[in-house]
Amino acid sequence: MPDQSEIIAALFWQGEIGVDEALDEQPADWTRFAARASAARRAPAPPATPSLTLGPTRAATPDRRPPVDAPIPGLADARSLVAGVTSLAGLREALTRFEGCSLKHTAMNLVFADGNPEGKIMLVGEAPGEDEDRLGKPFVGASGKLLDKMLAGIGLDRTQVYISNILPWRPPGNRSPTQAEIALCLPFIERHISLVAPQVLVLLGGTAAKSLLNRAEGITRLRGQWLDFHIPGSTQIFPAMATYHPAYLLRSPIHKREAWRDLLMIKSRLT
Ligand code: URA
């Protein structure tokens, strides 16, 4: 039996590594869901669903999403909730009704989006942090301040761009989202992008780039080039530029130079 000081030390250690909230009575083995989610994403694509009439159209692309019967609890619900959504208000409402992601129960607020949905550019980050969770708005903390400066560098502000995240709820203690959480939230952000139909999509950081582009490479490889983002199961395609996440740039300012090059490519695409 550990003595009291060992128990207190263990609690402090958990707090230090970001385990600051209890999600359930019993520990869950999230690595099991992660393995299922990545296996499901490699599974053959199901038949394409009818497309929305928004955005540029080309031949229908295969649906990369896991099949509806993939064993990720809540995924079928997520898909059926977004299926009937035709407006941003409807999408927000669908998220408030979605009970499949446990992050919702530890977060204070839904963090849906900020900025101008009519803007030419949509930026997608990873997940809200503490400040965003408190205020219910994306990118309002330290990395948001850097993002605002980056946008100002190419003559933009939040009245001209639209900002959201892969996950609309904060992971407790700002831990990285699991593959299962990402898979559960993808149908919502994919529909979000489809409804906004931006001229240019900017993916901030590896989580946004890898999960939306369905690529295994890291951000260092993916950034700095125009890639096609296909809305799964539809004919909508958007030009996407991945770049470093502002939080990473705060930790590694040496990479601001490459991020600046990415921003200039975005600027020249817009003009
Ligand atoms: N980091 C993100 O990826 N999104 C936010 O909204 C804030 C920080």
Q: Are 62 and 45 in contact (CB under 8 A)?
A: yes
Pocket test for ligand 1, best of 103, 124, 126 (most atoms within 8 A of CB): 126
Beta-strand relationship, 161-165 and 121-125: parallel
SS3 content of the chain, % helix, strand, coil (to 5): 45, 10, 40
DSSP state of 204: E
The whole-angstrom separation of Cα 215 and Cα 182 is 14
* For ligand 1, mutation pick of 143, 145, 166, 182 (most atoms within 8 Å of CB): 143
For residue 176 the two structure tokens come to: 């990285």
The answer, yes or no, to whether any atom of ligand 1 lies below 6 A from the CB of 102, is no
- Total-model pTM: 0.78
Which residue from 171, 37, 166, 173 is spatially nearest to 103, judged by alpha carbons?
171
> Does any ligand 1 atom lie closer than 6 A to the CB of residue 206?
no
Predicted pLDDT of residue 9: 79
Whole-number pLDDT of residue 49: 40
What pLDDT does residue 10 have?
Answer: 79
Counting from 1 in the atom list of ligand 1, the atom nearest the Cα of 208 is 3
Ligand 1 close to Cβ of residue 233 (< 6 A): no
* pLDDT score, position 36: 58
Q: Is 194 in the pocket of ligand 1 (CB under 6 A)?
A: no
**Side chain identity, residue 107:** A
- For 230, which DSSP code? E
Fold category of 75-270 in CATH: Uracil-DNA Glycosylase, subunit E (3.40.470)
Measured CA to CA in angstroms, residue 73 lies from 34, 77, 99, 196 at distances of 12, 8, 10, 28
180 lines ligand 1 (CB under 6 A): no
198 touches 122 (CB < 8 A): yes
Q: Which of 182, 245, 248 to mutate to test the pocket of ligand 1 (most atoms within 8 A of CB)?
A: 245
How far the first Cα of the chain sits from its last, in Å, is 67
Task: For a ligand 1 pocket test, name from 146, 150, 165 the mutation site with the most ligand atoms within 8 angstroms of its C-beta.
Answer: 165
Strands (E), the chain: 114-115, 121-125, 161-165, 200-204, 226-230, 237-243
Q: Is 112 in the pocket of ligand 1 (CB under 6 A)?
A: no
Task: For ligand 1, say whether the CB of 143 is within 6 Å of any of its atoms.
Answer: yes
Q: CB within 8 A of 170, min separation 6: which ones?
A: 103, 106, 107, 108, 111, 127, 128, 129, 130, 132, 133
Dist. CA 198–CA 222, nearest whole Å: 20
Instruction: Give dist(CA 26, CA 21) in Å, integer.
Output: 13
Task: Tell me the domain boundaries of the chain.
Answer: 75-270
Q: Which residues contact 76 (CB under 8 A, 6 or more apart)?
A: 68, 69
Contact 38, 186 (CB under 8 A): no
> What sign has the CA pseudo-torsion 86, 164, 226, 221?
negative
- Ligand 1: atom nearest CA of 166 is 3
Ligand 1 mean position, distance from CA 166 (Å): 9
**Cβ distance 119 to 163 under 8 Å?**
no
| Other beta carbons within 10 Å of 2 | 9
The parts of the chain modelled with pLDDT lower than 70 are 15-70
